[in-house]
Structure 1
Amino acid sequence: MVLMTQAPARRPPARRRHDREIVALAVPAFGALVAEPLFVMADSAIVGHLGTAQLAGLGVASALLTTAVSVFVFLAYATTAAVARRVGAGDLQAAIRQGMDGIWLALLLGALVIAAVLPTAPALVSLFGASHTAAPYATTYLRVSALGIPAMLVVLAATGVLRGLQNTRTPLYVAVAGFVANAALNAALVYGAGLGIAGSAWGTVIAQCGMAAVYLTVVVRGARRHSASLRPDAAGIRASARAGVPLLVRTLSLRAILLIATAVAARLGDADIAAHQIILSLWSLLAFALDAIAIAGQAIIGRYLGADDAAGAREACRRMVEWGLAVGVVLGLLVIVGRPAFLPLFTGDPTVKDTALPALLVVALSQPVCGVVFVLDGVLMGAGDGPYLAWAMLVTLAVFTPAALLVPALGGGLTALWGAMTLMMTVRMATLWLRARSGRWLVTGATR
């Protein structure tokens, strides 16, 4: 009893403070992250009842749209770090002004994407291998959905603004409301109005525009409250773009790794690619939990560095790594325990199950490594250390590519491929850990 009553007293107050901050930011962020893929799931559920060709067309168009959004995710990451620094420096006016630069950049990029996608939609659909029956539906969905891309990018940038302001609850509320509106609009337009797959696309566009409008309302109110200008500033927009380029390189390198892994799995055989898709879905779900801690890291680290508190930033980093490691261990144990129950949810094919089981064990064992990687990635993003992150990911891509491409020749099947994925995450952990230990990311001040 004595030990139990004394333990809390010995716990450092700073650690408790960091725990509260991490939980307060990470839990809502996790909810918002999980709500995002529900958009595609709702569309799939509704369009799937129209026919196989329509569902196949949706699959191709959604893959293109998801790729586009993931490429521009730097709008959220770079904005979070920049705004958080200004918050730490106590200059909320400049913080919101910085966020507006990111939003204006999102609008410009969105307009460019529309101009590129509308005339090239049929070619893009063909490039992704859509069948002649699915291609018309994919083209229709892509062209309509492209009109919502500026809103999607504004949502990314505005989410970054609110995260930088240490607010992850509003993005959660907006994401949930957007999902509900999207599902209702899809059902009404697809079936009630008889618009078919075009109705699904229009429903999503309207929901995305509504989400963007809510975000803009929140940001504009904050700007007026702190007398921040809402006008586009060319220098600020250019600065936002420059900050985003290294993160774009990082994201493209990561996308290349995932595409290479899928291509190798496809060469291994039908059972392997089927099992790979199941495992990749689980891996992505686990990533949401870990990414929520990384998002908290971006906001917290940026604020500490903006406040010229390098020691606080280092201590927060250390505590978040402990969180990432602990959550990774828990997730790994859950995967091990849940393997027999998880696979039947996706397939009844015994060959696919037998192929996936050992690979799932590799995924489970790698989760502590993934936890550290996600957290350190978020910490360095929050510090504005984009150039190093880009370099580190290029090194990781260079190591992973030959390891993955050798899997079909050397044998080992899907388990070996996910071993290569674990190698990839280990290399990332090593590069990020070295940077974190060096302290070179601890650049203080309102701007980096």
Structure 2
Amino acid sequence: MNRQILNLAIPNIISNLSVPLLGAVDTALVGHLEEAYYLGAIALGGMIFNFIFWGFGFLRMGTTGLTAQAFGKEDKTESVMILARALTVAGVFSLLIVLLQAWIADLSFWVVEASPEVERYTRIYFDIRIYTAPATLCLYAINGWFLGMQNARYPMIVTVVLNAINIALDVYFVHSLGMTVDGVAWGTLIARYAGVTLAVVLLLTRYKDWLKSYVHNLLMEVKALKKFFSVNRDIFIRTLCLIFSFSFFTAKSASFGDVILAANSILLQLWMIVSYGIDGFAYAAESLIGRYKGSRQQQKVVQAVKYCFIWGIGIGVSASIVYAVFDVQILRLFTDQQPVIDAAMVVFLWTIAGPTVSSFSYIWDGVFIGATVTEPMRNSMIIATLGFFLPAYFIGVPYIGNHALWLAMVLFMLGRGLTLSLYAPKHILQRR
């Protein structure tokens, strides 16, 4: 079992870690420019696109769970049709995003409190990056399908190549050409389309025979569509709560001023780096739990859950130790602005606690997605947002200021892990 988990997890970890590496490079590039508002603009721009694109994360997660179960049943036709439905949904929604971009921008800047300089540069970033929507959503669908087919290698190749291109372009545009946030946005746009092109080439090369099982009349089959949208509806609501919490965090960081916004955005990058590492084992759980659920091997389901948790929590604890030992040194990799470093150190304790606390919720997410038991995920996220995150912030902020944001984030992760642990015996482990 450990070998199977590692065969899936290691490529996922490599591909996942390239994502925050890209964010870290972007943060470091603009963090070393003269003004803090460039870093604030990247943070707010990233928040806006997280809100837009993470909302469609169901195209990756739902596709993985459904495909893995079809793979476990050895149903080739259904596997291909799941991909076709996911790509159709991706195409429709990406077109809507592009067409509604002006409304999305106005709403985003109405919601977010930011200085005039931060807003100005965020708009420049937004106007370029919005056109990544078709490539981004299609990549969600294709990579989700690869993972469901127990193929973690292709998403790794696509993601690493995409982010390597992105990093190279960002460094060239910002460092060599003297661009600012516009250079980061153009790098992202070009890299996304290079990535989706590579994904399609890999799909057509490796799965050419599988794609022959496509049956056009089944694309809009009512029963299959009902299951597809039922699973993805719950994941969508769950993801909206996640996006809301992170977006709320960034928006409230901006209300504390540009220095706090810059400091919090760097610390959030550190949370993301660890989350993507742990998610390698969460993705392995998605693939394996879905496969074993599809082939009705409950004993292996329980075994996979156990070992994925051991690996995931191990990474979380290790990261907490590294952050505790190398706090200031890590911060200096991101910025040389002493006020930003000082502000980050004031709340760094929460970043030390974050990886260990978060590891439980990340692994449970992978388990429930693989089993396509999505209602508990939805309920858990609503409880964590309304019952833990928001009360912690609003009660704490008058007394402890920025600490209240980080307390809210830690309790949010803790709430997710606890509630999913309560749901697991009935829905996953089948203990009543």
Task: Name the TM-score class by shorter chain.
Answer: 0.7 to 0.9
Structure 1, unaligned stretches of length 5 or more? Answer: 1-17, 444-448
2:195 corresponds to which residue? 211
CA distance in 2, matches of 1:203, 1:322: 37
Q: What is the one-letter code of the residue matched to 2:19?
A: E
Distance 1:199 1:428, change over 3 A: closer
Corresponding residue SS for 1:213: helix
**2:326 paired with 1:338:** yes
Deviations 1:178-209 (A, max 9, x none): 23333555677889999997676455333222
**Higher-RCO chain (CA-CA 8 Å, sequence separation at least 6):** 2
Q: In the TM superposition, what is the alpha-carbon distance from 1:277 to its structure 2 partner?
A: 3.2
2:395 corresponds to which residue? 406
1:228 corresponds to which residue? 213
Cα RMSD of the aligned pairs, angstroms, is 3.6
Structure 2, unaligned stretches of length 5 or more? Answer: none
1:423 corresponds to which residue? 411
CA distance in 2, matches of 1:113, 1:282: 29
Distance 1:66 1:49, change over 3 A: same
CA distance in 1, matches of 2:391, 2:403: 16
Larger CA deviation: 258-267 vs 98-107 = 258-267
2:13 corresponds to which residue? 30
Larger CA deviation: 288-297 vs 123-132 = 123-132
Larger CA deviation: 249-258 vs 149-158 = 249-258
CA distance in 2, matches of 1:152, 1:336: 35
CA distance in 2, matches of 1:193, 1:271: 26
Q: In the TM superposition, what is the alpha-carbon distance from 1:175 to its structure 2 partner?
A: 1.7
Q: In the TM superposition, what is the alpha-carbon distance from 1:94 to its structure 2 partner?
A: 2.2
CA distance in 1, matches of 2:128, 2:278: 33
1:391 corresponds to which residue? 379
8 Å CA contact 2:81–2:219 kept in 1: the answer is no
Larger Rg: 1 or 2?
Answer: 1
8 Å CA contact 2:266–2:334 kept in 1: the answer is yes
**2:131 paired with 1:142:** no
Q: What is the one-letter code of the residue matched to 1:228?
A: S
CA distance in 2, matches of 1:31, 1:354: 32
8 Å CA contact 2:27–2:334 kept in 1: the answer is no
Larger CA deviation: 329-338 vs 310-319 = 329-338
CA distance in 2, matches of 1:199, 1:164: 35
Equivalent residues in 2 for 1:251-400, closer than 5 Å: 251-262=239-250, 275-346=263-334, 356-357=344-345, 359-400=347-388
CA distance in 2, matches of 1:184, 1:351: 29
Q: In the TM superposition, what is the alpha-carbon distance from 1:244 to its structure 2 partner?
A: 1.3
1:5 corresponds to which residue? none
CA distance in 1, matches of 2:241, 2:423: 19
Q: In the TM superposition, what is the alpha-carbon distance from 1:316 to its structure 2 partner?
A: 0.9
CA distance in 1, matches of 2:143, 2:128: 24
CA distance in 1, matches of 2:127, 2:372: 35
Distance 1:316 1:398, change over 3 A: same
8 Å CA contact 1:29–1:171 kept in 2: the answer is yes
Count of residues in correspondence between the two structures: 424
2:233 corresponds to which residue? 245
